[in-house]
Amino acid sequence: MGFCFSQTLIRWSKQHGRHGLPWQGQKDPYAIWVSEIMLQQTQVSTVMERYPQFMRQFPTVKALASADLDAVMALWSGLGYYSRARNLHRCAQQIMAEYAGQFPSSVQELVKLPGIGRSTAGAIAAFAFEERAPSLDANVKRVISRFFGITSDPQSHKTTQLLWEHATAILPKSKSQMPVYTQALMDFGATWCASKAAKCQSQDQSCPMMSECKAYEIGHVEHIPAKKKKKESPAFTTHIFLIRYQDEILLERRPPKAIWGGLYSLIETPWQPAAKKLDHSKSIDVIDLLNQTEFVSQLSKKDLAAITSIEKRGVIEHIFSHRRLQIQPWVIDLKQKWLCTSYAIDWIRMSRLGEYGLPQPIRVFLESNSR
Ligand code: SF4
């Protein structure tokens, strides 16, 4: 009998696959969907901690759809890529409204939902409905690229198409094997055919794919997939203001389309491209900075008289996937509250901060500056 990719992989997974992760063995498409979305840009160890919390709070698509977006964002706090949380919420509402709370069962229908791409749709369809549909997460892409010796630019449309074709061709014939196969392929890519230390590059020569693997045969395992060309990500600077009155602080809800969209944050000056790092030598007019924020168009004499102290804190460096941000925080104490004229800005008690979705660096800053 010749070599069969899917059966070799399934045999491998019995002994070496990852077992017992909280989202494994699920048939509920809702539970699978949440785990797939959370795993997209978050490490498995973090998802293991956060996924059960999310499922406890929103155990069904109905519970998620009827939740307040703020509660969803608060629970997503720290996981980054917040459009995932907004899309989860929107998608749950769409499933309730258009599918009577029942997840559609085919890739074709699933990809029409917000935040569900072909790969996530494939995983949901394979795990929950045993559809013969491939899923291509980054680990799976690597395995297929190496196994078939694909050396072309991994970003190109042509390469992506080729990967989907190969991924479809090697699926098991039997639908009932789809859940175990899909999991096995993800596990194999995450553990044995790993990005930096592929099994075949060590002393251990037990990879069951070795006899057929093109990358191994041509000695290019470490160069496949081809590395993305790294561009220097642009840097920006901003000033943020922790404005405090007794145990209350001013928070602003960010617009949905912005970075950290829909989260609450501190009032900030518009982000400026940073030609160089923030200049600490120059004396800074904080009132002038405050007047650059959207919250304050012009501070009145009464507002200024309410300020009891202004203190500068250490610069926070934050790295996004495509940009870097230097944040200069200021702590301003008031003896009288400033009035909020915008609906997006409000005074919040520090003790209730846990109820709000905040960007991780802002949460850390607030926790270290609480009184
Ligand atoms: S032989 Fe090496 S590169 Fe090929 S599948 Fe196995 S671990 Fe991956």
pLDDT above 60 (res 281): no
Contact call for residues 346 and 251 (beta carbons, < 8 A): yes
Look over the chain and give the mean of its residue pLDDT values, rounded to a whole number. 91
Atom of ligand 1 nearest to the CA of 146: 3
pLDDT above 90 (res 370): no
Residues in CB range of 309: below 8 A, 6 or more apart: 331, 332, 333
Ligand 1 centroid – CA 193 distance (Å): 5
Atom of ligand 1 nearest to the CA of 199: 7
Give the pLDDT score at 280.
Answer: 59
Residues involved in catalysis = 36
For CA atoms 40, 42, 44, 48, give the dihedral sign: negative
Give the pLDDT score at 297.
Answer: 65
pLDDT above 90 (res 198): yes
Q: Can you tell me the mean pLDDT for 165-192?
A: 96
Report which of 162, 29, 192, 195 is spatially closest to residue 170, judged by C-alpha positions.
Answer: 162
Q: Does ligand 1 lie within 6 Å of residue 209's CB atom?
A: yes
Topology given in CATH for the domain delimited by 5-223 = Endonuclease III; domain 1 (1.10.340)
Residue with the smallest CA separation from ligand 1 atom 8 is: 193
What is the rounded CA–CA span in Å between residue 37 and residue 238? 30
Q: Does ligand 1 lie within 6 Å of residue 325's CB atom?
A: no
Residue with the smallest CA separation from ligand 1 atom 7 is: 193
Q: In this structure, what are the phi and psi dihedrals at residue 325, rounded to the nearest 5 degrees?
A: -135, 130
Residue with the smallest CA separation from ligand 1 atom 4 is: 213
Question: Which CATH class, in words, describes the domain spanning 235-368?
Answer: alpha beta
Which of 166, 210, 214, 218 for mutating ligand 1's site (highest number of atoms within 8 Å of CB)? 210
Give the lowest-confidence range in 31-45, 141-155, 294-308. Answer: 294-308
For residue 255, whether the previous peptide bond is cis, meaning omega lies within 30 degrees of 0, is: no
Under the banding of pLDDT at 50, 70 and 90, the label for residue 298 is low
| E strand or H helix at 326 | strand 324-334
Which of 151, 187, 195, 200 for mutating ligand 1's site (highest number of atoms within 8 Å of CB)? 200
pLDDT above 70 (res 282): no
Ligand 1 centroid – CA 109 distance (Å): 34
pTM for the whole thing? Answer: 0.81
Give the pLDDT score at 283.
Answer: 64
Alpha helices of the chain — where are they, by DSSP H? 5-16, 29-40, 44-57, 61-66, 69-76, 83-99, 107-110, 118-129, 138-147, 157-169, 178-191, 214-217, 286-290, 301-305, 360-368
What is the rounded CA–CA span in Å between residue 129 and residue 176? 9
Atom of ligand 1 nearest to the CA of 213: 4
Largest Cα–Cα distance of the chain, in whole Å?
Answer: 87
Where are the CATH 3.90.79.10 domain residues in the chain?
A: 235-368
Give the pLDDT score at 278.
Answer: 59
Where are the CATH 1.10.340.30 domain residues in the chain?
A: 5-223
Which of 193, 202, 218 for mutating ligand 1's site (highest number of atoms within 8 Å of CB)? 193
Tokens representing residue 36 in the block? 């797939």
Give the pLDDT score at 285.
Answer: 83
pLDDT above 60 (res 340): yes
pLDDT above 80 (res 230): no
pLDDT in tens, 238-275: 999 999 999 999 999 898 888 898 899 999 999 988 87
Q: Does ligand 1 lie within 6 Å of residue 210's CB atom?
A: yes
Q: Can you tell me the mean pLDDT for 206-213?
A: 96
Q: Can you tell me the mean pLDDT for 146-160?
A: 94
